[in-house]
A and B are shown apart, each in its own frame.
Chain A
Amino acid sequence: MSDTDYMRHLQGRYEVHGRDFVDAGLVSSQIKKGLKSQGIHEDIIRRIAVIAFEAEVNIISYATHGVISYYLLPDSIIFEAIDEGQGIEDIELALQEGYSTADDSIREMGFGAGMGLANIKKSSDIFEITSELGKGTRVKSTIMLNGK
């Protein structure tokens, strides 16, 4: 199986715009509604909803534009967020809890505590991140269904 085979299982695709603070969390809510209608276990849905929320906030805060997609496979759910934006200079540092470069507009919304990427990683079974400075960031999370 090639490593892009999962793309055949696309369930939803959402555009997210930078600085669009009012809509933060909307994609998370929409994905959650979609997964509920598919009869996925609530614990799995909760993890995906958290991952989606954090990814949305990251795109809104740090990118000009991004696309969030999720794929429902027989044994897992794959979540992917790809953005065009400033990118991350030091991924290891960005993954540390509490490390943040958020500005006041992000904090007023209730975010920017430096928990986002760490929380995405914590909520994933497999977590992959690549970033290019000045170009953008790609986050891919896999959640195993384990019969749930």
Chain B
Amino acid sequence: MTLAEVRDLLDAELIVGQERLELEVHTAFGADLMSDVLAFARSGCLLITGLANLQAVRTAYALDIAAIVICRGKALTDTFVETARELCIPILWTPLIMFETCGRLYRAGITGCVREIGIQEKTGVGY
């Protein structure tokens, strides 16, 4: 699914990344806790979060995450948008709650970037 399709599916606005509308995504990770994102998310996934701060952008950058979906209509600061632009992280913004956001994406074929947290994740295989 392209970012343009994700945008339409989530009634979202693309705040950063107009030039990346054709970027393909297949997996996602949803969390407000960046500790868990850093520990378990995978490169190339969508990050769905209600945490609209600089740490979310920098976490996405650290992990080569494809794009961030800010859910629950959280307000975005200028610094947040500027940092995302500087680090080339596309930002989608939706008023939908996280459950609804994840549900629509899953129904459309997006799967979790990891299905569960088990031995594989704890031993670090998969980087």
**Which residues of A are at the interface with B, using a C-beta cutoff of 8 A?**
22, 24-26, 28-29, 32, 42-43, 46-47, 49-50, 52-54, 57, 97, 109-116, 118-119, 122-123
Q: What DSSP secondary structure best describes chain B's contact surface?
A: helix
Residues of B within 8 A of A111 (CB): 33-35, 55
- A53–B43 Cα distance when bound, in Å, is 16
Secondary structure dominating the interface of A: helix
Contacts of B45 in A (CB 8 A): none
CA distance A109 to B63 in the complex (A): 18
Residues of B within 8 A of A116 (CB): 35
A46 touches B127 (CB 8 A): yes
Given known contacts A46-B63, A112-B35, A122-B39, what 14 new A-B pairs fall within 8 Å (CB)? A24-B54, A25-B58, A25-B62, A26-B58, A28-B62, A29-B62, A49-B63, A50-B38, A54-B38, A110-B34, A110-B55, A114-B35, A115-B36, A115-B39
Give the complex CA separation of A109 and B37 in angstroms. 13
Q: Which residues of chain B (61-97) have a CB below 8 Å from chain A?
A: 61-64, 87
B111 in the interface, Cβ–Cβ < 8 Å?
Answer: no
Q: Contact at A28–B36, with CB atoms within 8 Å?
A: no
- Give the chain B neighbours of A28 by CB distance below 8 A: 58, 61-62
Q: Nearest residue in A to B117 (C-beta to C-beta)?
A: A97
Q: In the bound complex, how far is the Cα of B58 from the Cα of A126, in angstroms?
A: 25
Question: Is there contact, CB below 8 Å, between A110 and B35?
Answer: yes
Residues on the A chain within 8 Å of B32, using CB: 110
Q: Is the CB of A113 within 8 A of B35?
A: yes
A-B contact pairs, 29 of them (CB 8 A): A24-B54, A25-B54, A25-B55, A28-B58, A28-B62, A29-B61, A29-B87, A32-B62, A46-B43, A46-B63, A49-B61, A49-B62, A53-B38, A97-B39, A109-B53, A110-B33, A110-B56, A110-B59, A111-B33, A111-B35, A113-B39, A115-B36, A115-B38, A116-B35, A119-B35, A119-B39, A122-B122, A123-B124, A123-B127
User: Residue B51 at the A interface, CB < 8 A?
Assistant: yes
With a cutoff of 8 Å between Cβ atoms, the chain B residues found around residue A110 in the complex are 32-35, 37, 51, 53, 55-56, 59
Q: What range describes how many residues of B lie at the interface?
A: 20 to 34
B59 and A25 within 8 A (CB): yes
Identity of the chain B residue whose Cβ is nearest the Cβ of A47 in the assembled complex: B127
- In the assembled complex, how far is the CB of residue A148 from the closest CB belonging to chain B, in whole angstroms? 11
Interfacial residues of chain B within 16-60, with CB under 8 A of chain A in the complex: 32-39, 43, 51, 53-59
